Amino acid sequence: MKRLLERKILIGGFALAVLILTIVNTISYQNTAKVFTTQKQVEASYEVLQKVRDILTTLRDAERARRGYIITGKESYLETYDTALKSINTELSEAKNATFNNQNQRHRLNLIEPLITKRVNLIKTSIKLYKQNQSDTETQIALTDKGLLLHDEIWRIITQIENEEQLLLQHRRAESEKSFHFTTLITIAGSCFSFSLLFSVYSLLQAQIKKRQQLESVLRESKKRYRKLFAVNPHPLWVYDLATLKFLVVNEVAVKHYGYSQADFLSMTVKNILPSEDIESVMKRIYQLSPTIKQTAIERHKKQDGTIIDVEVISHELIFRGRCARLVLARDITIEKQAREAEEIRRNLEKELELQELKTRFFSMVSHEFRTPLSTILISTQVLENSKEWSEEKKRKNLQRIQSSAKTMTQLLTDILTLTRAESGKLEFKPHPLNLEDFCHSIVEEIQFSTGTQQDIIFIHQCLEKIACMDEKILRSILTNLLDNAIKYSPQNSKIYFTLTKNSEQAIFQIQDRGIGISQEEQEQLYQAFQRGQNVGDVPGTGLGLAVVKKCVELHGGSINVESQLEVGTTFTVLLPWM
């Protein structure tokens, strides 16, 4: 793009310089022609002045010849007189011709013409009377006076002609000088600008030539490095023709790795190193490759001995020996792929073993957790059946044990079902308007009634708003499991604080106990299924509660945090979006 711009600048600069020189020469020619025209006009003015002066001189010659003849009586003066009379009309005509484009001057010459005629007639009359009567001086004096008056009138008009021609002469000289100076200025300025422009174009051209030489040098060095890299690259490399798919050049690594000779490669196409079942898909991908983007793909190649190998192919287009070609680096990943497959098999086996272990633990847990409440229910029903004489108080206690065991089994089944549905993506989130204060009160009452807990659950509500859109079932699972854990792992007659607050966009549920606490190491695996702390002792539990809580909190778009210290207590904080 930059080279194209510089080329346009060069062409444009040269064209502009030629254009400026053409304009300068045109203006110079026009002004020179104007100078010549003005010069001709100046010469014409000089000619008019000369013709007018010739007329006046001729009249004076005729008058002097008359006076000389009258004074001396010599006939020789008459010859001068005759010559003057013959030339005066010719000179007048020439003066008129010289002023053909100046109406004012022609008008003045027209005024002079009758005056000259009168003046000539007076001279003729004077000579004629002198010949008749040489002693009539009075008449000669009168004629002389009239001639002087006519001469003054002629002189006045000729002076006007001369004055106007002088003004024209000055004006034309000024125009001529102005045109000359303007032509000189334009020529100098245009030439300087053109030469500056040509010099700039020349400098740019020189810079381009120098840059091109540098690029050619860099290109030569690059080609040398490319050939060296091509030869010493540890992976197979080749270049193939995009039109024919024939190999154009291959490195020695490719020859050794694939088993083909250089001659074999150069007589083959890309298709020859592909398994027959892969040719169609690979060709389709090759024809769809972008010419400007480096491409990476996984292919299968066939060696000379028929061995199939997996390779990672990295390629990009280039111009090679004047042809559109593609450079290919083929990295053998057969061993890596086998290693990855082996690793994947190992991981799958580990997952299978882990799953098997989880199943074993699950069935063991279910068996244990169900056996205890079932035994309690069975024994309590047998006792009730065989002890008809018992008091109502004893019967009520046995019924409470049956109800508690049934509730334990129900909660266990609920947790298992919730966790299973959450992990399979079938647990749905169905929010609806809910009075959080009333809901939390009811949860506390249910737990205290069903468990007969001796701990005191203190519910603290610090929200001005009460209604939020939440999923009642999911929220019940979260709060019930957290409160059950707080009760199980807290000493009797201790206080459990259940706080509901709200920030700008979240509801905050906080449950704080003074129980056995959780170690820092165990907190990292706190929300995994079947995980229980080492300090729980004989406290019954499945290890599912917090896993269920974590899944439910995530489904609700919230988060859960824990702060705990051994033998001090635990605080769980649940943040759910207030919708």
294-304 pLDDT, tens digit each? 788 888 999 99
Q: Which of 404, 421, 412 minimizes the C-alpha distance to 545?
A: 412
* Any domain includes 225: no
- Do 400 and 445 reside in the same domain of the chain? no
**Reported confidence tier of residue 34, pLDDT bands at 50, 70, 90:** low
Q: The CATH number of the domain where 416 resides is what?
A: 1.10.287.130
- Do 45 and 100 reside in the same domain of the chain? yes
Position with higher pLDDT, 359 vs 237: 237
Region 263-270 average pLDDT: 90
* Any domain includes 356: yes
Region 254-258 average pLDDT: 88
Q: Which of 124, 177, 122 minimizes the C-alpha distance to 150?
A: 122
Q: Which of 353, 362, 507, 346 minimizes the C-alpha distance to 423?
A: 362
Instruction: Calculate what percentage of the chain has a pLDDT beyond 70.
Output: 68
- Do 472 and 390 reside in the same domain of the chain? no
- Do 182 and 69 reside in the same domain of the chain? yes
**Reported confidence tier of residue 406, pLDDT bands at 50, 70, 90:** low
Number of domains in the chain: 4
pLDDT confidence of residue 342 = 83
Q: Is the pLDDT of residue 426 over 70?
A: no
Q: Is the pLDDT of residue 509 over 90?
A: yes
* Any domain includes 220: no
- Do 326 and 464 reside in the same domain of the chain? no
Question: What's the pLDDT tens digit per position in 148-173?
Answer: 777 777 777 777 777 777 777 777 77
Q: Which among 148, 182, 203 is the end of a domain?
A: 203
Q: Which residues contact 510 (CB under 8 A, 6 or more apart)?
A: 497, 498, 499, 500, 501, 571, 572, 573, 574
* Any domain includes 468: yes
* Any domain includes 186: yes
Min mean pLDDT across 196-205, 314-323, 369-378, 426-435 is at: 369-378
* Any domain includes 129: yes
**Reported confidence tier of residue 500, pLDDT bands at 50, 70, 90:** very high
**Reported confidence tier of residue 574, pLDDT bands at 50, 70, 90:** very high
Q: Is the pLDDT of residue 276 over 70?
A: yes
pLDDT confidence of residue 225 = 59
Q: Is the pLDDT of residue 362 over 60?
A: no
Q: Which residues contact 481 (CB under 8 A, 6 or more apart)?
A: 415, 545, 546, 548, 549
- Do 473 and 534 reside in the same domain of the chain? yes
- Do 307 and 435 reside in the same domain of the chain? no
Is this model's pTM higher than 0.75 or not?
Answer: no
Question: What's the pLDDT tens digit per position in 349-358?
Answer: 887 776 666 5
Region 22-32 average pLDDT: 67
- Do 24 and 91 reside in the same domain of the chain? yes
Q: Is 567 left (phi over 0), alpha (psi -120 to 50) or beta?
A: left
- Do 508 and 459 reside in the same domain of the chain? yes
Region 512-525 average pLDDT: 83
Q: The CATH number of the domain where 487 resides is what?
A: 3.30.565.10
Cβ(194)–Cβ(21) below 8 Å: yes
- Distance separating alpha carbons of residues 134 and 422, to the nearest angstrom: 161
- Do 460 and 503 reside in the same domain of the chain? yes
For residue 163 the two structure tokens come to: 């004055």
Structural domain for 378, as ranges: 345-427
Buried (b) or exposed (e) across 333-348, using 16+ Cβ within 10 A?
eeeeeeeeeeeeeeee
Q: Is the pLDDT of residue 572 over 90?
A: yes
- Do 72 and 176 reside in the same domain of the chain? yes
Q: Which among 427, 450, 472 is the end of a domain?
A: 427
Residue type, 43: E
Q: Which among 159, 183, 203 is the end of a domain?
A: 203
* Any domain includes 224: no
pLDDT confidence of residue 498 = 92
* Any domain includes 338: no
pLDDT confidence of residue 272 = 92
Q: The CATH number of the domain where 248 resides is what?
A: 3.30.450.20
- Do 304 and 314 reside in the same domain of the chain? yes
